[in-house]
A and B are shown apart, each in its own frame.
Chain A
Amino acid sequence: MSTVLDRTLIVMPAFNEQESVRDVVVEVLSELPGVACLVVDDGSTDSTAQQARAGGAMVARLPFNLGVGGAMRVGFRYAVDHGFDNVVQIDSDGQHDPANVRALLERLQSADLVLGARFAGSGNYVVRGPRRWAMVVLSIFLSRAARTRLTDTTSGFRASGPRAVRLFADHYPAEYLGDTIESLVIAARAKCIIAQVPVSMRPRAGGKPSHNPFKAAAYLGRAIMALLFALIRPPLPLHSKEGVS
């Protein structure tokens, strides 16, 4: 009998993550036996692809950097082409704990899209200033669109069920911030059931999060723009035929 893990594809967008990607892949594969792991090398200039392969992952290499949205599109397309039911997105910098994937998949049985939320009680993840305001504004609007309470809408730790995978394979947004904000709006508009599960965050294995207030303010502006445009775009049907998007 095939377990839920056999039908699940872990997709890890990776851009110049040679320090961490191998460990993350190894941890994912040992924590979740039977799961398939696809690293999408988003135009890295370092040895990300080799490291990921050495860890035991399949690697799809994009010829140039497309951003997380573009990398995830490759993942969803691959999942549809190879008959995977579920797609779980995990960051390749080691922020997300693969142990939480089971909880996400569990929740996926009664939902189409499950977010791993960083503020919902588990762990101690703190954000301040404009970045915090952006998250509050987004969570208010997106909670309303999704008809459920979402506290961490920009989480890159999420699981998509069969309906959402099919929708996203054709329509996953490639714009900056589209992968988090607009994808939620698309899913909500297509009548997907959205849920969240508390997850704990770990400090990144490589690299430092930015605390530049100007960058944070620009982020707030872009996030609100992305949200507004996502909300005024025409909704997409769940079962669209193979159209060129």
Chain B
Amino acid sequence: MTLTAYIFGVAAALGTLAVVVEMLRRNRLRERHAVWWLIAGTMALIVGLFPGVLAWAANLIGIEVPTNLVFFVSVAVLFLVCIQHSAELTALESKTRILAEQAALTRLRIEELERELRKSSD
């Protein structure tokens, strides 16, 4: 591996981590959503700094080309994050739905009360 490739790998990992941490700091990202990105960024940084770790891990699982381990882990992380987002979306939709239902009932109640008020004031 050339020195530039090494620096590029470390810089990319640092950049990713910096973006996530900065968004967390500005409250643009909640911790529960940031966890996966922090884990992924940290793993990228470790592998970037110590490429030997990657080769060791690949050898441990029996993957011949270490880069394939990188691809596998990346896809797995993206997949899990996507599923988490779908679940969150489902939860949000059901909360919106419940709010809409209650808004409809509240509105009906207000209209009923207004009618009674008008009747009693006549």
Residue numbers of A with Cβ under 8 A of B are 40, 58-64, 66, 70, 73-74, 77-78, 81, 174, 244-245
Contacts and interface: CB of A to CB of B under 8 A. Distances in A.
B108 A77 contact: no
Contacts of B80: none
A244 B94 CA distance: 10
Contact of A70 (B100, B108, B112): B100
A78 B100 contact: no
11 contacts: A58-B108, A61-B104, A61-B108, A63-B103, A66-B97, A66-B101, A73-B101, A74-B104, A74-B105, A78-B105, A174-B97
A63 B100 CA distance: 6
Most chain A CB neighbours (cut-off 10 Å) among B98, B100, B112: B100
B108 A60 contact: yes
A64 B100 contact: yes
Contact of B104 (A60, A174, A244): A60
A60 to B, nearest CB: 4
Interface string B53-84: 00000000000000000000000000000000
Nearest to B99: A63
A105 B97 CA distance: 30
Contacts of B107: 60-61
A15 to B, nearest CB: 13
Q: Specify which of A40, A58, A74, A245 lies most central, judged by the most chain B CB atoms within 10 Å of its CB.
A: A74
Given A63-B103, A66-B100, 20 more contacts: A40-B104, A58-B108, A58-B112, A60-B105, A60-B107, A60-B108, A62-B101, A63-B104, A66-B97, A70-B100, A73-B101, A77-B101, A77-B105, A78-B105, A78-B108, A81-B105, A174-B94, A174-B97, A244-B98, A245-B98
Question: Do most interface residues of chain A lie in helix, strand or loop, or is the interface mixed?
Answer: mixed
A63 B102 CA distance: 10
Contacts, number: 39
Interface of B: 94, 97-98, 100-101, 103-105, 107-108, 112
State the majority secondary structure of interface residues on B: helix
A174 B100 CA distance: 12
A77 B109 CA distance: 13
Contacts of B104: 40, 60-63, 74
Contacts of B103: 62-63
Contacts of A78: 105, 108
Most B C-beta atoms less than 10 A away, residue of A59, A62, A81, A244: A62
A59 B108 CA distance: 7
B98 to A, nearest CB: 8
A74 B107 CA distance: 12
B105 A70 contact: no
Contacts of B97: 66, 70, 174
Which 9 pairs of residues, A with B, have the shortest CB-CB distance?
A60-B104, A60-B108, A62-B104, A74-B101, A74-B104, A63-B100, A62-B100, A73-B101, A63-B103
A119 B105 CA distance: 35
Contacts of A64: 100
Contacts of B108: 58-61, 78
A70 B94 CA distance: 10
B119 to A, nearest CB: 15
B105 to A, nearest CB: 6
A78 B108 CA distance: 10
Contacts of B101: 62, 66, 70, 73-74, 77
